[in-house]
Chains A and B, each alone.
Chain A
Amino acid sequence: MIAQIGNLFLSGAFAVSFAGLILYALSSIKEEKKFETYANWLWMAKGLFVLISSGALIYLIMTHQFQYYYVWNYTSLDLESRYLFSAFYGGQEGSFMLWVLCGFLVGAGLIRWTRKPYRAPVMFVMMLTQLFLLSMVVGWDFGFTKIGASPFRTIAQEMPNAPFIQANPDFVPSDGSGLNDLLKSPWMMIHPPIIFVGFAMMTVPFAFAIASLWTKTYHEWIRPALPWTLAANVSLLTAIFLGGYWAYETLSFGGYWAWDPVENASLVPWLIGTAGIHAMIIQRKSSRAHKASLFFAILAYVAVIYQTFLTRSGVLAEQSVHSFVDLGLYGQLLLFILVITIMGIGFYLYRYREIPSVDKESDFLSKEFMTFTGAILLFILGFVIIIGTSSPILGRLFVDNPTPPEIQFYNDWSMPIVILMAFATVIGQYLFWQKHTWESLAGKMIMPLILTSIFTVVSIVFGEVRNLYYMVFIFAGWFAVIGNGAVLFELVRKNPKVIGGTITHIGFGALLLGIIASSVYTEPLLDERTTQYNSRIAAGDVFDEEGFPVTQPVEMFELEINRPKLVNDKYMVTYEGFDVSDSPRPGQQTYRLKFEPIDGGDTFYMDPVVYPMMTTSSMDNIDWSVDPHVRTGWLSDVYLYVAGSKYVAGRNEEIDQERRLQRMAQTGAEQDSTIEDTQKIEIKEGESIDAGPFSFTFMQFTPASEESLPENTQIGVRAQVRVEHTPSGNAYDVEPLFAVYTEDGRSYTYSPPLKIDRWDMDVFFSSIYPETDTIELTVEGLDEEFEEDWVLIVAEKKPFVSIVWLGTFMLMAGFSISILRHWEREKAVKREEE
């Protein structure tokens, strides 16, 4: 019932949008206010319908109605309610609905605030994009073709040919397949809404650009469009930051950026949007660059839709790190991108001759030229990344079955571009606030250049930078920070309201410095043995069993319990054991690692986690996942995760054995008799050691009575040992004897076995090591390999990740200050009109 309501209102919203679109079109053509008013009502109605529909979907999710595919696919009974709620936009269909809702709110704002000539055409474009987005989720099936994939479709509709559906069409699963554990993170809850707010806001400059072309008013549109574009940028930037931060804290690939298609999907619109902001600022200040403002405003939204097409149509399915299921929307998405591109670029070219342009070129040394250079550089960077991300399409020009480009492709192209940008920001900022000749500018630059050189040299010395290219990069980064810092210093005294841009540019410089430090100068943390082994690999002295030289350095090291190792000549690292707990995730282990800096700094602990992935693990196969621990610091982070441990290996072994036993039981094969085995265990007083399902605890020494000892005994002692069968909890205390006696002038040891009948096990107290206070037990009949507890650690030291975040926050702050300023101006203009 609820689902029918949800579906009905989605269809209603789609129909209403269509009607509204026609009314806005009529209003734009006939300049008839009446139509626009009706259409605005329809806009509101559509928003209400989508809200009701979303409410229905949330209700289905909250009440665990697993007969619906969406509910079954993204949630489960044990999911906390906040993640149940975020599952609403967790899937492709729901995220389209969220996008529509964000677009609705933005449109409502536009209805309220937009100035006269632009109203109807702007809303027409907004409505058109909403119509396309809604078409992705209406789920109309005409038999010969389908439109959209409804979030309200049942499992039976999704998989009509599945055998369990054939057998029972009303089949309702008892539990859902749940949410991927990696995504159970508050960062991931807020990430999608922010990104779709950004995407929705990025529609606004596009809509204004179209309205400007329609009304042939080329000067005024940027005033209302600029604050929206800035806001879209802040949203996208925040979303990109959240995604990067989450990846860094959660995944084991060890970074915040991987040039992944989905990451690029939000970065490219951001870059082109930023290029648009630069062009709009020139236009506002000097009445130039009309063509560029329009072009970038159109292109930023085209980029949003193009990247949406790439990531959601299944085009990237072969090679994306984020795989999207193709919901059969390929055709619709293709139509969407084509309509947006043709409407935007086509209309732009159609009007191209009319768009005002200045006859006189700007001087090289002018704010217009420099700001424009910035815009072009941003655009080029965006263009390069689009080329790379489009490899499944463009790559076919070169090879049949293209792979993604190597990461190097992105790095090689972005590095020189951002170096140029860094220099342009400083010169541009100086020229922006004051006219300069070459001489006066050179005079201004002396101090920043001296400071930059000093900071660069210090960085090169301390960072042990050997690569000339990186030296230039670092110089550019410092120059952007210091040069813009000098401008900020002057502005704060004169007019603190206008510091937004300057702060943004300082943030950009800081970001560059943070990126190069944290990515190029990341060093693995390794113990001495592994380091030596790696230098042998580098020298080509290590060969594998096939006789080939090993080329890859080992990037992890092993720790045995309570045996400290010196790592990177800096820390003594001790593995102190682990706890298993069922909260927040059943079966998760938290490992304790003690780090003691040998130069006398504070001791700290790292607690990486390993847990079974509930969504994908089954009785006979556990899928282990890791949760890295990042210790953040101002100067450097320590990033660490457990790549393997005795406990995990043991659990896998047990599961393996159970599987084998089951198979034997099924085939009726003879069970192998367990092999009698002798093991030696060294153990300290008070220590416990696990061997398979048994644990041995050496409680204390106890005195041995005279009659149990042989003659001429020099030493005779018993060890009280508790042997526990961990799974059952049964325990026995045994007190095996150890004695040393002399016979004919020679020493002999005497250690009679103590039998534990129940487990068919013999325990001997076979030796004693006074120098380490340990005793040796020999155990017979234990068919488990005994080994010390161990962990495998992958750890990295990443310098100045904090600066990456700092730079990002400064960008956000700078953009936000600019929004407020431009918004105030726009409001002032509106007040004058009224």
Chain B
Amino acid sequence: MKPKLLIGIFSIVIFTSLLMYNFGNSISTYVNFEQAENRTNSHVVGKWDKTGDYGFSRETMQFSFHMEDEDGNIRRVVYSRPKPNNFEQATQLVVIGEMRNNVFYANEMLMKCPSKYNENPDFEPAETAGM
């Protein structure tokens, strides 16, 4: 019984450590545009800045807009997909991608909308995220 128990405890510890290590690596922290300059895969939270021009370009097939992060930095964001549903009504945007030369290239966008419902899909991931 004793050696079995030890092996059991040992494997649980190994498994949990590995899981937590991997989990720690797979989360990052929310940053502002300035901090995003020198990293890959940044998450920036902010608001759509309505004063700048925005829209989808049929030439480049990109949607671009200006966003103000929580510290008031405004940058142009380029997103190479169509304008997400409910972009205009979002009270908060999360863009995930990287900053290059003061332009943020978003691979993913999340829209946070005033919640109306228990299962509120307004805040929709604009990426297929199947298994």
Interface residues of A in 585-619 (CB under 8 A from B): 613, 615-616
- Are A643 and B82 in contact, with the CB atoms below 8 A? yes
Interface residues of B in 82-131 (CB under 8 A from A): 82-86, 88-89, 94, 100-101, 103, 105, 107, 110, 112-113, 115-131
| Residue B30 at the chain A interface, CB threshold 8 Å | yes
CA–CA, A408 and B131, complex, Å:
9
* Residue interface bits A21-51, CB-to-B below 8 A is 1, else 0: 0000000000000000000000000000000
From known contacts A399-B27, A409-B22, A625-B85, infer whether A322 and B123 are also in contact, taking CB-CB under 8 Å: yes
CA–CA, A260 and B129, complex, Å:
9
CA–CA, A252 and B23, complex, Å:
28
| Residue B51 at the chain A interface, CB threshold 8 Å | no
Interface residues of A in 91-140 (CB under 8 A from B): 91-92, 95
* Residue interface bits A521-554, CB-to-B below 8 A is 1, else 0: 0100000000000000000000010101011101
Q: Which B residues touch A398, using CB under 8 A?
A: 24, 27
| Residue A488 at the chain B interface, CB threshold 8 Å | no
Q: Which B residues touch A380, using CB under 8 A?
A: 15
| Residue A330 at the chain B interface, CB threshold 8 Å | no
| Residue A245 at the chain B interface, CB threshold 8 Å | no
- Are B26 and A408 in contact, with the CB atoms below 8 A? yes
Q: Which A residues touch B112, using CB under 8 A?
A: 323
Q: Which A residues touch B58, using CB under 8 A?
A: 558, 644, 790, 792
The residue of chain B having its C-beta at the shortest distance from the C-beta of A73 within the complex is: B116
CB distance from A247 to the nearest CB of B (A): 7
Q: Which A residues touch B29, using CB under 8 A?
A: 399-403
Interface residues of A in 5-25 (CB under 8 A from B): none
The residue of chain B having its C-beta at the shortest distance from the C-beta of A321 within the complex is: B123
- Are B116 and A391 in contact, with the CB atoms below 8 A? no
Q: Which of A92, A256, A550 contacts B130 (CB 8 A)?
A: A256
The residue of chain A having its C-beta at the shortest distance from the C-beta of B18 within the complex is: A413
The residue of chain B having its C-beta at the shortest distance from the C-beta of A262 within the complex is: B119
Interface residues of A in 214-266 (CB under 8 A from B): 243, 247, 250-260, 262
Q: Which A residues touch B121, using CB under 8 A?
A: 180, 182-183, 247, 250-251, 321-322
Q: Which B residues touch A179, using CB under 8 A?
A: 116-117
CB distance from B97 to the nearest CB of A (A): 9
CA–CA, A183 and B120, complex, Å:
8
CB distance from B26 to the nearest CB of A (A): 4
- Are A90 and B117 in contact, with the CB atoms below 8 A? yes
* Residue interface bits B46-86, CB-to-A below 8 A is 1, else 0: 00000000001010110000000000000000101111111
- Are B117 and A74 in contact, with the CB atoms below 8 A? yes
- Are B19 and A384 in contact, with the CB atoms below 8 A? yes
CA–CA, A250 and B121, complex, Å:
10
CB distance from B3 to the nearest CB of A (A): 12
- Are A554 and B61 in contact, with the CB atoms below 8 A? yes
From known contacts A74-B117, A179-B116, A255-B130, infer whether A625 and B30 are also in contact, taking CB-CB under 8 Å: no
Q: Which B residues touch A328, using CB under 8 A?
A: none
CA–CA, A323 and B85, complex, Å:
16
CA–CA, A89 and B118, complex, Å:
9
CA–CA, A380 and B107, complex, Å:
31
CA–CA, A616 and B116, complex, Å:
11
CA–CA, A89 and B117, complex, Å:
9
CA–CA, A192 and B118, complex, Å:
9
Q: Which B residues touch A613, using CB under 8 A?
A: 85-86, 89
- Are B119 and A253 in contact, with the CB atoms below 8 A? no
CA–CA, A823 and B15, complex, Å:
38
- Are A556 and B82 in contact, with the CB atoms below 8 A? yes
CA–CA, A598 and B101, complex, Å:
46
From known contacts A253-B128, A403-B43, A792-B58, infer whether A548 and B28 are also in contact, taking CB-CB under 8 Å: no
- Are B28 and A555 in contact, with the CB atoms below 8 A? no
- Are B131 and A515 in contact, with the CB atoms below 8 A? yes
- Are A792 and B82 in contact, with the CB atoms below 8 A? yes
Q: Which B residues touch A182, using CB under 8 A?
A: 121-122
Q: Which B residues touch A325, using CB under 8 A?
A: 115
Main secondary structure of the interface of B (DSSP, over half): loop
- Are A555 and B81 in contact, with the CB atoms below 8 A? yes
| Residue A287 at the chain B interface, CB threshold 8 Å | no
* Residue interface bits B11-55, CB-to-A below 8 A is 1, else 0: 000010001101110111110000000000001010000000000
| Residue A61 at the chain B interface, CB threshold 8 Å | no
CA–CA, A388 and B19, complex, Å:
10
CB distance from A402 to the nearest CB of B (A): 5
Q: Which A residues touch B82, using CB under 8 A?
A: 556, 643-644, 792, 794
Q: Which B residues touch A415, using CB under 8 A?
A: 131
- Are B26 and A180 in contact, with the CB atoms below 8 A? no
- Are A519 and B120 in contact, with the CB atoms below 8 A? no
CA–CA, A180 and B120, complex, Å:
8
Q: Which A residues touch B94, using CB under 8 A?
A: 319
Q: Which of A403, A413, A516 has the most chain B CB atoms closer than 10 A to its own CB? A: A403
- Are B130 and A391 in contact, with the CB atoms below 8 A? no
| Residue A332 at the chain B interface, CB threshold 8 Å | no
| Residue A670 at the chain B interface, CB threshold 8 Å | no
- Are B129 and A258 in contact, with the CB atoms below 8 A? yes
| Residue A657 at the chain B interface, CB threshold 8 Å | no
CA–CA, A551 and B62, complex, Å:
12
From known contacts A321-B110, A546-B101, infer whether A254 and B128 are also in contact, taking CB-CB under 8 Å: yes
- Are B117 and A259 in contact, with the CB atoms below 8 A? no
The residue of chain A having its C-beta at the shortest distance from the C-beta of B21 within the complex is: A398
Q: Which of B85, B103, B123, B125 contacts A624 (CB 8 A)?
A: B85
Interface residues of A in 792-834 (CB under 8 A from B): 792, 794, 796
CA–CA, A642 and B27, complex, Å:
33
Q: Which A residues touch B15, using CB under 8 A?
A: 380
| Residue A459 at the chain B interface, CB threshold 8 Å | no
Q: Which B residues touch A551, using CB under 8 A?
A: 105
- Are A616 and B26 in contact, with the CB atoms below 8 A? no
The residue of chain B having its C-beta at the shortest distance from the C-beta of A323 within the complex is: B115
CB distance from B20 to the nearest CB of A (A): 8
Q: Which of B28, B78, B117, B129 has the most chain A CB atoms closer than 10 A to its own CB? A: B117
CA–CA, A138 and B103, complex, Å:
50
- Are B85 and A626 in contact, with the CB atoms below 8 A? yes
- Are A388 and B23 in contact, with the CB atoms below 8 A? yes
| Residue A412 at the chain B interface, CB threshold 8 Å | yes
From known contacts A91-B117, A92-B118, A546-B103, infer whether A257 and B131 are also in contact, taking CB-CB under 8 Å: yes
- Are A259 and B27 in contact, with the CB atoms below 8 A? no
CA–CA, A458 and B36, complex, Å:
47
- Are B129 and A623 in contact, with the CB atoms below 8 A? no
CA–CA, A248 and B131, complex, Å:
14
CB distance from A396 to the nearest CB of B (A): 10
- Are A519 and B130 in contact, with the CB atoms below 8 A? yes
CA–CA, A361 and B1, complex, Å:
9
- Are B127 and A253 in contact, with the CB atoms below 8 A? yes
The residue of chain B having its C-beta at the shortest distance from the C-beta of A192 within the complex is: B118
Given contact pairs A74-B117, A384-B19, A613-B85, enumerate 5 new A-B contacts (beta carbons under 8 Å): A73-B116, A188-B119, A252-B84, A260-B125, A555-B81
Binding site for A on B (CB under 8 A): 4, 15, 19-20, 22-24, 26-30, 43, 45, 56, 58, 60-61, 78, 80-86, 88-89, 94, 100-101, 103, 105, 107, 110, 112-113, 115-131
A–B pairs, 16, beta carbons within 8 Å: A179-B116, A180-B117, A183-B117, A252-B84, A258-B125, A321-B124, A323-B123, A391-B23, A397-B24, A404-B27, A406-B26, A414-B131, A516-B131, A623-B85, A625-B86, A794-B81
Binding site for B on A (CB under 8 A): 73-74, 89-92, 95, 177, 179-180, 182-183, 188, 191-192, 243, 247, 250-260, 262, 318-325, 361, 380, 384, 387-388, 391, 394-395, 397-415, 515-516, 518-519, 522, 544, 546, 548, 550-552, 554-556, 558, 613, 615-616, 621, 623-626, 643-644, 790, 792, 794, 796
Q: Considering the complex of A and B, which 5 residue pairs feature the smallest CB-CB distances, nearest first?
A: A519-B130, A643-B82, A409-B26, A399-B29, A405-B26
